[in-house]
A and B are shown apart, each in its own frame.
Chain A
Amino acid sequence: MIRFVLADLKRLWAGSVVIVLLVALAVALGVGVSLQERALRLGSARAAEKFDVIVGAPGSETQLVLSAVFLQPAALPLMPGEVLAELNDDPRVEWAAPVGFGDFHAGYPIIGTTTTLIEATAGGFSQGGMFRTEGEAVVGSAVPLQPGEAVVPTHGQVEQGGHEHEGIRYRVSGRLNPTGTPWDRAILVPIQAVWHVHGMGLEAGHDHDHDHAGHDTAHEDEEAHEHHGMDADAPLDEDWHRGALPGLPAILIKPKTIADAYRLRQDYRADGRTLAVFPGEVLTGLYATLGDARQVLAVIAAGTQLLVAAALLMVTVIHVGQRRRQIGALRAFGAPRAAVFGIVWLELSVLVGLGILLGYGGGYLAASLLSRAFAMQRGFSLPVGFTPEDGAMLAILAAVAALLAALPAWLAYRQSPAAALRN
């Protein structure tokens, strides 16, 4: 029977190919949508997983997460610098590290932070090592710079009217291993360097009421935006108790326990000066919004599959009608009805099954390509992968296909063998 089915499909190869492709496309659409959506969820959750609690100035929670986790350029309000010292003294905190944004090098964000954060969140160095002085920089795996090369910071992005900090150069001291997060695109420098470059020295201790983190507002008055020198050879100073610290856009915190995380969020949310968020929670809120869009896409994909199934059913029923004589002949020569049923059912099932498998492959490929394109642009990877729930979906699709194939098979089963003799 298998030989006969294969010979038959080969004879009708053009139609078979069209059916397989049609099914594959419809399935790929559905699979691609669900894989891509899951990849986005997984990828962003992975990007946020190292940061348990983020503290910033009161404002948009979403913007705080997008800026601190995904390094999306935006003007964040600043919170008083003493919050960092407080957090570092807090027994519930394992570590707390400031981040300062605003400068770029060739489109890569320069993030001021501390050795603690780099040690705790990055997966070690692939080349070189940690910055040891104010003028050194550590680059993420996606930044095309080698140890020893120079980083020239511009305030804001050049294409958006940013300008160079004259005379300021960082020297790359090390390169990090890939983490699959947007931080792979970051150039990390000591936070004190960022302060010094922007004239916010620790010693100065004056008020910073204008937003130094905002590069979108980079068209600042040249006079107002004084350039202060940075001492490239100055040793690192990560003691936050000496003098008043400048305002900070965000502090990333690793609490000691989960209970501590909740208490910290509680305390710093109620505080009035600050806002504290769980990035995961903020992302969940974002997914809920995205979920509606996904639902629309899923409905479109399901509709497409339904249309293809209906078209396929129509085509095969007509096809069985056209094969009355052949089917009748098989019966007339002594093939049992069950064999006739089996042949028609198997032919259709093979085609649809092939289409479904190809569709899964195609959907996976499409989602992977999209993710790769996204990773190149945004620096963080969207892991595309199948889960057991896809297996269940595959089983359901296969079962529906088998059931659908049974209808034309049943029609063939019911056909009179006398049809073979009629001209």
Chain B
Amino acid sequence: MPCLHLDAAEVSFPGLPAPVLHIPRLDIAAGSQVAVIGPSGSGKSTLVNVITGLARPTQGRVFWDECDIAQLSEGRRDRWRGANIGLVMQDFHLFPGLSALENVLLPARLARVADGAIRARAAALLSRAGLSRPDQPVETLSRGEMQRVAAARALLRNPGVIVADEPTASLDPENGAVIATLLLELAAQTGATLIVVTHDQRLISRLPRRIAMADGTVRYDSMAEAQP
């Protein structure tokens, strides 16, 4: 499982006086479970974009183990992300007209990596997530079930890192708790690094490490406090 090392990572836009993200240094150990918190506009989403390779930092380096993804071309970052990152978002981004199983398999199919083992894993993950009908069209699922499908999709290729952006924000507390448990258990089971951006206090309380952001930088890190 890869560990993250950010080195002077900065994202700025022309016309803005201050960078939207400015992190001199940040390390996240492989297999750790981290909550990223902070008010909106504090740079959480930008951080997620940078560490998942969805966006390139203006400056600095983003190492996952030995690989600086800031140096990769767009196509290679896509490939790297597909193989190493499992993303769960607040909006489930499921595609209507396809079944739960087809949604789980869609990115792998588009990347042409969906073999028999992947298909078997997709079915197993759906069943693990508590969905009994993998052939059900996603538009007929409840919101809680939709997020479970999205979680199964994120874990399909057995990624080393799971990044969840407000995974419980659009769910009721009950379903939020189910999803939180699912993510924590699956991450623990596979040994994947889990990074969760969230406002959900109950979810935050279940994550061992907390990073608080404000004005584009890290203001508080429970890890740093533990190791003075």
Q: Within 8 Å CB of A343, what residues of B?
A: 110
B78 touches A337 (CB 8 A): yes
The listed residue with most B CB atoms (<10 A of its CB), out of A3, A330, A333, A417, is A333
Q: Are B96 and A336 in contact (CB under 8 A)?
A: no
Interface residues of B in 2-40 (CB under 8 A from A): none
Assess A421 versus B78: contact at CB under 8 Å? Given A334-B157, A335-B110: no
A326: Cβ under 8 A from any B Cβ:
yes
The reply to whether B55 and A11 form a contact with Cβ atoms under 8 Å apart is: no
B98 within 8 A of A: yes
B residues less than 8 Å from A237 (CB atoms): none
Inter-chain contacts of B107 with A (CB < 8 A): 330, 333-335
Bound CA span A335–B55, Å: 15
In whole angstroms, what is the CA distance A11 to B78 when docked? 27
Instruction: Please tell me if the beta carbons of B111 and A3 are within 8 angstroms of each other in the complex.
Output: no
Q: Interface digits, A1-21 against B, CB 8 Å rule (1 contact, 0 not)?
A: 101101110110000000000
Q: How far is the CB of B114 from chain A (nearest CB, A)?
A: 11
Contacts of B165 in A (CB 8 A): 421
A333 in contact with B87 (CB, 8 Å): yes
B127 CB → nearest A CB, Å: 21
B147-186 contacts to A (CB < 8 Å): 153-154, 157, 165
Closest partner residue, chain A, to B74 (CB atom): A337
Q: What chain B residues lie within 8 Å of A1 (beta carbons)?
A: 109-110
Q: How far is the CB of A7 from chain B (nearest CB, A)?
A: 3
Q: How large is the interface on B (under 10, 10 to 19, 20 to 34, 35 or more residues)?
A: 20 to 34
Roughly how many angstroms separate A7 CA and B94 CA in the complex, as a whole number? 12
Find out whether the CB atom of B89 lies under 8 angstroms from the CB atom of A334. Answer: no
Interface residues of A in 323-359 (CB under 8 A from B): 325-326, 329-337, 339, 343
Given A331-B78, A333-B93, A334-B157, A339-B48 contact (CB < 8 Å): no
Bound form: Cα–Cα A408–B108 in Å: 24
Nearest B residue to A342, CB-CB:
B110
Report whether A332 and B98 are in contact in the complex, using a CB–CB cutoff of 8 Å.
no
Q: Would you call B45 and A421 a contact (CB within 8 A)?
A: yes
B residues within 8 A CB of A7? 95-98
Contact B54 A332 (CB under 8 A): yes
Q: Are A336 and B79 in contact (CB under 8 A)?
A: yes
Is B52 close to A, CB under 8 A? yes
Q: Mark A304-330, 1 if CB is under 8 A from B, else 0.
A: 000000000000000000000110011
Contacts of B97 in A (CB 8 A): 6-8, 10-11
Q: Which residues of B contact A335 (CB under 8 A)?
A: 78, 82, 106-107, 110-111
Q: Which residue of A lies closest to B40 (CB)?
A: A423
**Contact yes or no, A334 B93, CB < 8 A:** no
**Complex contact A418–B49 (CB within 8 A):** yes
Q: Is the interface of B mostly helix, strand, loop or mixed?
A: helix
Cross-interface CB contact of A329 among B48, B55, B93, cutoff 8 Å: B93
Query: Is A416 part of the binding interface, using a Cβ–Cβ cutoff of 8 Å?
Result: yes
Alpha-carbon distance A386/B129, docked complex (angstroms):
58
**Measured CA separation A227–B72 after assembly (Å):** 104
- Asked if B121 is at the interface of the complex by the 8 Å CB criterion, the answer is no
B75 at the interface (CB under 8 A from A): yes
Q: Quick check: is B212 within 8 A (CB to CB) of the other chain?
A: no
Q: Which of A401-423 contact B (CB under 8 A)?
A: 416-418, 420-423
A334→B107 CA distance, assembly (Å)? 6
Residues B69-127 near A (CB distance < 8 A): 74-75, 78-79, 81-83, 85, 87, 89-91, 93, 95-98, 102, 106-111
In the complex formed, the residue of B with least CB distance to A413 is B74
Closest chain A CB from B144 CB (angstroms): 20
Residues of chain A lying within 8 A (CB to CB) of residue B48: 421
Report if A418-B54 is in contact (Cβ < 8 Å); known contacts: A333-B153, A339-B110. Answer: yes
Q: Kindly report which residue of chain B lies nearest to residue A417, judged by CB atoms.
A: B54
Q: A326 and B108: CB pair below 8 A?
A: no
A109 to B111 CA separation, bound complex (whole angstroms): 74
A74 smallest CB distance to B (angstroms): 65
Q: Which of B75, B79, B106 contacts A4 (CB 8 A)?
A: B106
Q: Which residues of A contact B78 (CB under 8 A)?
A: 331, 334-337, 417
Q: How far is the CA of A8 from the CA of B139 in the complex (A)?
A: 13
Instruction: List the B side residues contacting A8 at CB < 8 Å.
Output: 95, 97
* B49–A421 CB distance below 8 A: yes
Contact B98 A4 (CB under 8 A): yes
On B, residues with C-beta under 8 Å from A are 45, 48-49, 52, 54-55, 74-75, 78-79, 81-83, 85, 87, 89-91, 93, 95-98, 102, 106-111, 153-154, 157, 165
Ranked nearest first, the 3 interchain pairs of A and B with the lowest CB-CB distance are: A334-B82, A7-B97, A335-B110
26 inter-chain pairs at a CB distance below 8 angstroms, sorted by A residue, are A4-B98, A4-B110, A7-B97, A7-B98, A8-B95, A11-B96, A11-B97, A325-B91, A329-B89, A329-B93, A330-B106, A330-B107, A331-B54, A332-B87, A333-B93, A333-B107, A334-B81, A334-B157, A335-B78, A335-B82, A336-B111, A416-B54, A417-B54, A417-B78, A421-B45, A421-B54
Given contacts A7-B96, A333-B154, 9 further A-B contacts (CB under 8 A): A1-B109, A1-B110, A4-B95, A4-B110, A333-B153, A334-B78, A336-B110, A339-B110, A421-B89
